[in-house]
Amino acid sequence: MSGRTGAFAGAWLFTLLFAGCGGGGPPPREIDAAVRAYVEEHGLPPIGQSCMWGSKLEIDEVRTVEVGERQEAMGHRSWPVRARVIGGCRAQDRGYSAQMASEWDRTFEFSLHQNGFGEWEASPAG
């Protein structure tokens, strides 16, 4: 196999693996952004856990762990996703440095789909 052929085969394999194998699946960058948006708006799944009064939810990192096979039901496509969310609840700054009230580093399961505008949205799986 020549160098060009090997490079082409490697690029093709990379594209196949990260396209979700079902075609049109969410890229990791979009998954991370959709999960972050969900957690910032609704709190942590599964019951919308949020921070106590006087502290603020802050997300340090969201990382895609795994993307499952495309699911179809009643004409809607979605992808099951596991995403690691790292962050915490930080006490509000009252004239001194903010302190961490609680920290978390957990993996959650979400379902991702595209809305009518083609934007990726996350919701808790289940």
Question: How many Å separate Cα 112 from the centre of its chain?
Answer: 8
Position 47 scores a pLDDT of: 56
Q: Give the pLDDT score at 103.
A: 81
Tell me the pLDDT tens digit for each residue of 4-55.
Answer: 444 444 443 333 444 444 456 899 999 999 999 999 888 887 655 667 776 7
First to last CA, the chain: 46
pLDDT per residue as tens digits for the range 112-124: 999 999 999 999 9
Residues in the chain: 126
Higher pLDDT, 111 or 55: 111
Q: Which residue has the tokens 């996703």?
A: 81
Taking the C-alpha atoms of residue 79 and residue 87, their distance in angstroms, rounded to an integer, is 24
User: At residue 111, what is the residue type?
Assistant: S
* Res. 94 pLDDT band, cuts 50 70 90: low
